């Protein structure tokens, strides 16, 4: 009989945790018990016969085999260590530990082998990083990438439930500005009927925190501190589904037919002949690819369009993939 695990979910009502919960239910044969830790308000609304719900306070933390965190940077920073002290393997969806040396940052099918490295904390990369890394990996193995230029089209759900609700409210009453999408900006603009070319906080050099996350996470995942990149992160008026235009330059000249054949045969990649879009990708655990072509002027470069479900591919599926790897390999504390 397979071993069963006691699992905690921290961040109660988060959109990603709701997806993690659904995926865990599909793995009921290895789940002993699920406990959800939520804010005081969340406890009441989450009550269910299927799992225990507790208020997220130090005195309520119990011992678990696994703890999935998706309550944001501050919640992970405050509580993850305590869960680990009490024996849990933490799989964290926040960005707070991703670049720490002692954290493992793993994108599905890209650097699975990194789970064997020293370090106890497993981090999910940023939702765009996962999508981009998954499609770049088979191409990198063929031609070795040198520089990647990405323009993103990120949906409202990437910012969480409050932001998504704010976007829906903007849609319902066009004069309303939720203000959620431009955190630190003086000039607030709506997302509805608009696009917002600024995600995260603006740094002195003109790049944003979101763009830096993607840049640094790609370097860590591909074990290449020299990997060049230029990222522009843009919020678009969609409820769900992130996309990107990727332009990538390689060390070796590209063979487009071989590249496409390889992509089509890569696990978790779905190539669509004419085009793909966020609506195709929503609800799927695959990364969708289309508009695949060689740069007209540079024989070393490719350009293409990708879409994926940011809550699944960009978060929940990757977290559950780590869980599966750990459970199958018994590679836990």
Instruction: Identify the active-site residue in 64, 216, 242, 276.
Output: 242
Binders of ligand 2RA among residues 97 to 136 (CB under 6 A) are 126-128
Cβ-based nearer residue to ligand 2RA, 54 or 242: 242
Task: Give residue 314's Cα distance to chain centre.
Answer: 3
The three-class DSSP label of residue 25 is helix
Binders of ligand 2RA among residues 172 to 201 (CB under 6 A) are 199
Cβ-based nearer residue to ligand 2RA, 160 or 263: 160
Compute the distance between CA of residue 333 and CA of residue 67 in angstroms, rounded to an integer: 12
Considering the complex, what minimum distance in angstroms separates the CB of residue 95 from ligand 2RA? Answer: 8
Look up 127 and say whether it is catalytic: yes
Instruction: Identify the active-site residue in 127, 140, 216, 276.
Output: 127
Cβ-based nearer residue to ligand 2RA, 46 or 127: 127
The three-class DSSP label of residue 315 is helix
Considering the complex, what minimum distance in angstroms separates the CB of residue 243 from ligand 2RA? Answer: 11
227-to-149, 214, 218, 230 alpha-carbon distances in Å: 11, 12, 8, 10
Cβ-based nearer residue to ligand 2RA, 53 or 320: 320
The first and second tokens of residue 99, run together, are 């670049």
Compute the distance between CA of residue 224 and CA of residue 231 in angstroms, rounded to an integer: 17
Considering the complex, what minimum distance in angstroms separates the CB of residue 173 from ligand 2RA? Answer: 23
Considering the complex, what minimum distance in angstroms separates the CB of residue 28 from ligand 2RA? Answer: 28
Q: In this chain, which of 12, 71, 138, 158 binds ligand 2RA, going by CB under 6 A?
A: 158
Residue number closest to ligand 2RA, CB atom: 158
Kindly indicate which of the ranges 135-143, 154-162, 288-296, 298-306 contains the residues binding ligand 2RA, using the contact rule CB under 6 A.
Answer: 154-162
Measure the CA dihedral 136/231/223/286, to 10°.
-30
Look up 242 and say whether it is catalytic: yes
Compute the distance between CA of residue 251 and CA of residue 28 in angstroms, rounded to an integer: 46
E strands along the chain, which residues?
A: 5-10, 31-38, 52-55, 66-69, 89-92, 103-105, 121-123, 145-153, 228-232, 242-250, 269-271, 287-294, 301-308
Considering the complex, what minimum distance in angstroms separates the CB of residue 311 from ligand 2RA? Answer: 9
Cβ-based nearer residue to ligand 2RA, 51 or 69: 69
Per-residue burial over 298-314, b = 16 or more CB atoms within 10 Å of its CB, e = otherwise = eebbbbbbbbbbbbbbb
* Cβ count within 10 A of residue 116: 9
String of contacts with ligand 2RA for each residue 37-76, x by CB under 6 A:
----------------------------------------
Considering the complex, what minimum distance in angstroms separates the CB of residue 286 from ligand 2RA? Answer: 19
**Inter-axis angle of helices 15-25 and 317-329, nearest 10:** 40
Cβ-based nearer residue to ligand 2RA, 89 or 157: 157
Binding site for ligand 2RA (CB under 6 A): 126-128, 154, 158-159, 199
Catalytic residues: 127, 242
């Amino acid at each position: 009989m397979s071993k069963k695990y006691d699992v905690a979910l921290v961040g109660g009502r988060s959109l990603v945790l709701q997806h993690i919960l659904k995926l865990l239910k599909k793995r009921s044969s290895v789940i002993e018990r699920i406990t959800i830790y939520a804010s005081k308000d969340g406890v009441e609304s989450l009550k269910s016969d299927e799992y225990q719900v507790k208020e997220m306070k130090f005195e309520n933390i119990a011992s678990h085999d696994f703890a999935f965190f998706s309550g944001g940077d501050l919640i992970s920073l405050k509580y993850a260590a305590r869960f680990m002290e009490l024996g849990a393997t933490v799989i964290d969806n926040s960005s707070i530990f991703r670049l720490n040396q002692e954290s493992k940052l793993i994108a599905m099918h890209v650097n699975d082998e990194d789970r064997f490295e020293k370090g106890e904390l497993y981090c999910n990369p940023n939702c765009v990083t996962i999508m981009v890394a998954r499609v770049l990996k088979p191409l990198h193995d063929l031609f070795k990438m040198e520089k990647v230029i990405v323009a993103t089209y990120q949906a409202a759900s990437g910012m969480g439930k409050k932001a998504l609700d704010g976007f829906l409210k903007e849609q319902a009453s066009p004069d309303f500005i939720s203000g959620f999408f431009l955190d630190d900006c003086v000039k607030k603009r709506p997302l509805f009927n608009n696009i917002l070319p600024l995600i995260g906080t603006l740094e002195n050099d003109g790049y944003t925190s979101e763009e830096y996350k993607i840049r640094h996470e790609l370097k860590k995942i591909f074990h290449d501190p020299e990997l060049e990149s230029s990222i522009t992160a843009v919020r678009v008026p969609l409820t769900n589904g992130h996309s990107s235009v990727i332009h990538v330059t390689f060390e070796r000249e590209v063979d487009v037919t071989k590249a496409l054949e390889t992509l089509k045969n890569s696990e978790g990649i779905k190539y669509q002949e004419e085009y793909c879009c966020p609506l195709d990708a929503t609800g799927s655990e695959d990364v969708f690819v289309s508009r695949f072509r060689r740069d007209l002027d540079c024989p070393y470069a490719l350009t293409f369009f990708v879409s994926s479900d940011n809550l699944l591919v960009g978060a929940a599926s990757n977290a559950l993939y780590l869980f599966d790897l750990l459970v199958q390999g018994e590679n836990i504390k």
